[in-house]
C-alpha cells in the first residue's frame, strides 16, 4: 500500500510542478513574475525529474492546456497595474490542507490584493481524506463545534481495543484476522458518527452546513484541475465570488458563476446496501459520500474516510478539454 501511496504522491507533485512551469512559461513574456522556489517547489521538481520523459511531456502538455484556459478566464494573470505589480507563483505546503485550504498552486498579486489557487489532481476526484480515532474531534474542524462526551464514550473503547490488539500482536495482526470487522467495528463507529453529526447540526443548521462544505471541499476559492489520460477537467469552486474577476476593462472570456453553499442538511444515512459508506445530502445541490476503511492491512487504532463529492450545484462551472496526443 505504501508503494501505491508514494506513486500517487510522486504523480501528484509532478503535475503541480508541470502546472507552475507552464504558468511561468506562458506568462513571463506578458507580465513581470516571480516563482517562489520554496521547499514544496523543490519536492515537486524532484518528483517531476524522477518520472519518465514520456510522462513528463504528457504532464506538461496537459498543464499547458489547463493554463491556456485559466488565462482566458482570469485576465489578472496576464495583466499588472504597473511595473511593480509582480505576479508571484508558488506551490503551497501540504499542511495548508489540514485547515481546509486545498489549493496546491497559487498565483498572487500583492498590489491588486488578488490571488487564485489551483488544486491539481492526477486521475483523482476525491475531496479529502480524514481520520477518525478515539481522540480525534472531527466536529471541531468539520463543523466548528465540539464533539460530545457521549460520542467519545461510544467510540473510544472501540479504538482502545484496536490499540490493544496492535500492541499485543507487536503490530502484526491484520484486519482480516478480526473476522467480520465491517459489522463489529465500522458500523458502530459510523452510527456514532451519524448521531454526532445530527446532534451538532441542530445547533446552527445554516452555519454547520456551510462550514462542512468549506472544510471538506475548500475554504478558499479555487480551480480544480483534474488530469486524465487524454484530457483535463477544470472545475471553478467560486464559493466566495473571488474567481473570474475582470481586469479594468478586460473581461474573462467565460463566466464562472458564484456557487451557493448549502444552508441545511437534508439527510445523513448509510448508503443503501452498504455497511462502510454514509451519504450526506444537502440543499443547493450538494451531496457527499463518506466511505470508511482501514488505510493499512495491519490493525491500527484509527480509521480513514475517503470522501467524494457525489453531486454539486448546477452553478459549479465545469469544462473538459480533450487532448489529442497523437
- pLDDT tens for 282-324 read 999 999 999 999 988 999 999 999 999 999 999 999 999 998 7
Instruction: Quote the pTM value.
Output: 0.88
Question: Are the CB atoms for 14 and 48 separated by under 8 Å?
Answer: yes
Mean pLDDT of 212-228: 92
163, pLDDT greater than 80: yes
pLDDT of residue 313: 96
Phi, psi of 119 (to 5 degrees): -100, 115
* 3-class SS of residue 97: helix
- What span, in angstroms and rounded, lies between the C-alpha atoms of 252 and 258? 14
Mean pLDDT of 94-106: 79
Mean pLDDT of 222-226: 95
Question: Are the CB atoms for 293 and 306 separated by under 8 Å?
Answer: yes
- Per DSSP, the residues of 178-199 read GSSHIIIIIHHHHHHHHHHHHH
Residue 74 pLDDT level (bands cut at 50, 70, 90): very high
186, pLDDT greater than 70: yes
Helical spans, DSSP H, in the chain: 2-27, 39-50, 53-73, 138-143, 149-168, 181, 187-201, 205-217
Lowest mean pLDDT among 7-11, 32-36, 49-53, 182-186: 7-11
Cell of 183: 459489522
128, pLDDT greater than 80: no
Q: What percent of the chain has pLDDT over 90?
A: 84
Instruction: Using alpha carbons, list the distances in angstroms from residue 205 to 35, 43, 282, 283.
Output: 42, 41, 11, 11
Q: What percent of the chain has pLDDT over 70?
A: 95
Under 8 Å CB-to-CB from 74, ≥6 apart: which residues? 107, 116, 243, 244, 245, 252
- Half-sphere exposure at residue 142, Cβ-oriented, CA atoms within 13 angstroms: 20
Place of cell 475582470: 246
- What span, in angstroms and rounded, lies between the C-alpha atoms of 131 and 126? 15
- Per DSSP, the residues of 248-297 read TTBPPSS--PPPPPPS-EEEEEEPTT-SSEEEEEESTT-EEEEEEE-SSS
- What span, in angstroms and rounded, lies between the C-alpha atoms of 187 and 274? 10
Residue 5 pLDDT level (bands cut at 50, 70, 90): low
Mean pLDDT of 134-154: 94
Amino acid at each position: 500500500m505504501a508503494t501505491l501511496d508514494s506513486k500517487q504522491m510522486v504523480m501528484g507533485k509532478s503535475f503541480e510542478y508541470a502546472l507552475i512551469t507552464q504558468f511561468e512559461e506562458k506568462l513571463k513574456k506578458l507580465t513581470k513574475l516571480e516563482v517562489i522556489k520554496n521547499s514544496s517547489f523543490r519536492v515537486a521538481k524532484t518528483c517531476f525529474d524522477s518520472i519518465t520523459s514520456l510522462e513528463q511531456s504528457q504532464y506538461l502538455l496537459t498543464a499547458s492546456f489547463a493554463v491556456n484556459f485559466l488565462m482566458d478566464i482570469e485576465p489578472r494573470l496576464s495583466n499588472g497595474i504597473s511595473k511593480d505589480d509582480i505576479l508571484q507563483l508558488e506551490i503551497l505546503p501540504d499542511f495548508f490542507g489540514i485547515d481546509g485550504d486545498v489549493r496546491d498552486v497559487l498565483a498572487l498579486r500583492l498590489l491588486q490584493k488578488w490571488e487564485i489557487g489551483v488544486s491539481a489532481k492526477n486521475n483523482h476526484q476525491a475531496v479529502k481524506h480524514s481520520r477518525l480515532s478515539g481522540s480525534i474531534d472531527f466536529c471541531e474542524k468539520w463543523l466548528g463545534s465540539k464533539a460530545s462526551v457521549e460520542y467519545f464514550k461510544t467510540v473510544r473503547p472501540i479504538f482502545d481495543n484496536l490499540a490493544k490488539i496492535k500492541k499485543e500482536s507487536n503490530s502484526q495482526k491484520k484486519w482480516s484476522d478480526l473476522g467480520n470487522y465491517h459489522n463489529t467495528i465500522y458500523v458502530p463507529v459510523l452510527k456514532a458518527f451519524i448521531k454526532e453529526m445530527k446532534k451538532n447540526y441542530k445547533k446552527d443548521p445554516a452555519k454547520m452546513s456551510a462550514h462542512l462544505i468549506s472544510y471538506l471541499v475548500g475554504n478558499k476559492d479555487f480551480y480544480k484541475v483534474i488530469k486524465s489520460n487524454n484530457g483535463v477537467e477544470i472545475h471553478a469552486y467560486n464559493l466566495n465570488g473571488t474567481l473570474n474577476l475582470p481586469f479594468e476593462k478586460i473581461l474573462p472570456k467565460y463566466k464562472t458563476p458564484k456557487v451557493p453553499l448549502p444552508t441545511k442538511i437534508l439527510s445523513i444515512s448509510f448508503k443503501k446496501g452498504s455497511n462502510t459508506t454514509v451519504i450526506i445530502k444537502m440543499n443547493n445541490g450538494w451531496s457527499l459520500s463518506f466511505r470508511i476503511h482501514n488505510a493499512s492491512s495491519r490493525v491500527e487504532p484509527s480509521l480513514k474516510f475517503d470522501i467524494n463529492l457525489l453531486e454539486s450545484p448546477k452553478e459549479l462551472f465545469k469544462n473538459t478539454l480533450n487532448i489529442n496526443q497523437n
